[in-house]
Amino acid sequence: MKKIIIVTGGAGFIGSAIVWKLNIEGIDNIFIVDEIDNVKWKNLVGLKFIDYIEKDDFLNNIVNGKYNNLKVDTIFHMGACSSTTYPDAKYYIKNNFEYTKVLCEYAVKREIRFIYASSAATYGEGTFGFSDEEDKLEVLRPLNMYGYSKHLFDLWAKNKGYLKKIVGLKYFNVYGPNEYHKADMRSFVVKAYEQIKSNCVVRLFKSYRDGYKDGEQLRDFIYIKDAVEMTLHFYRNRNLHGIYNIGTGEPHSFNQLVFAVFKSLGLKPNIEYIDMPQNIKNQYQYYTKAEMKKLYSSGYNKKIYDFDTAIDEYVKKYISQNKYLADYKE
């Protein structure tokens, strides 16, 4: 019997996309862990896997030794509370930090390949740059509790010496099909599409920082298909360890993103700039740009989707058709 692949957060955005891509490559010996809801389940339809379990039950089984003899090849740990505004700091610690520590210890002890999701939110304002070199970890200052919970685990893994055995991936602004369940945390591609369909206008936040005009705040947006290809690079190349950025290295403005959505719909851009809510002003990132040298030096050589092409595909092939990744083989 083949060893299984565990994907936590496997019904979520990046997790279900990993399962989709593994299926395309003929791999279905997959065990999905998540916390299902009335929307997220749709990401699983059409995917091939051998079992599903709720995340709390899975953790209890780990802690109680039920999985001590389970034959596991790889754990993709994508499960986490990814909201940047969730009000309970203790939940971030329990769900994002403590849960990941238990799962990591389980994997390292059994020499299971462990690939986990960190986040570009760990970089905060970017004052200290966006380098994924591990000797730069201590200087980072996340702006929100989500980013800090991810940063805590990165630091813990480094201090334990585990970054020489596991892989942490700092995902930048990922967008694409299968993110529909994420409510306010969906990408702005989806939000712009919905605003255009409803009112023929897109509302963007005004800028409150010198050097940035309204709508010219810059983010490193990466299409889900690129993010998954980069993730599986570390599944295929088991000699690689440490922390790596998952981005494009080419930031785009929110104006550019909105223009691309309007273009996809064959409409003239119509943008209204609105005040930014007070509760996010102090944690708003005006600029992100992944340093990609480390990933490319590791041997990754896949061509990244052109920004406008990716948004056009997403809008026409998925959002407007209400389609998911599993609705297509490629």
Q: The tokens of 251 are what?
A: 């930031």
CB proximity list for 14: less than 8 A, separation 6 or greater: 78, 117, 171, 174, 224, 227, 228, 231
- Are 22 and 5 in contact by the 8 Å Cβ rule? The answer is yes
Angle at 249 between CA 141 and CA 287, to 5 degrees: 45
Domains of the chain, first to last: 4-175+220-250+285-307 (3.40.50.720)
pLDDT at 280 over 90: no
Confidence of residue 183 (pLDDT cuts 50, 70, 90): confident
DSSP codes of every residue in 282-316: TT--SB-----HHHHHTT--PPPPPHHHHHHHIII
Name the token pair of 129: 């740059």
In 42-93, alpha helices (H)? 55-63, 89-92
- Torsion on CA atoms 268, 274, 280, 286, rounded to nearest 10: 50
Cα distances (Å, whole numbers) of residue 166 to 25, 135, 152, 258: 23, 16, 16, 37
Beta-carbon count within 10 A of 219 CB: 22
* Single pTM value for the model: 0.95
Which amino acid, one-letter code, is at 213? K
pLDDT tens string 115-168: 999 999 999 999 999 999 999 999 999 989 899 999 999 999 999 999 999 999
Q: pLDDT class for 1, splitting at 50, 70, 90? A: low
Residue 88, classified by CB atoms within 10 Å of its CB into exposed (0-12), middle (13-18) or buried (19+), is exposed
Per-residue pLDDT at 279: 81
Task: Give residue-wise pLDDT tens across range 86-119.
Answer: 778 898 999 899 999 999 999 999 999 999 999 9
Tens digit of each residue's pLDDT (9 = 90 or more) over 226-278: 999 999 999 999 999 999 999 999 999 999 999 999 999 999 999 999 999 88
* C-alpha–C-alpha distance, residues 250 and 222, integer Å: 9
Reported confidence tier of residue 9, pLDDT bands at 50, 70, 90: very high
Contact 223, 305 (CB under 8 A): yes
As a whole number of angstroms, the distance between CA 164 and CA 244 comes to: 13
Find, among 183, 186, 121, 128, the residue nearest to 154 by Cα: 121
262-to-141, 239, 268, 324 alpha-carbon distances in Å: 36, 43, 6, 21
Please give the positions annotated as active site. 146, 182
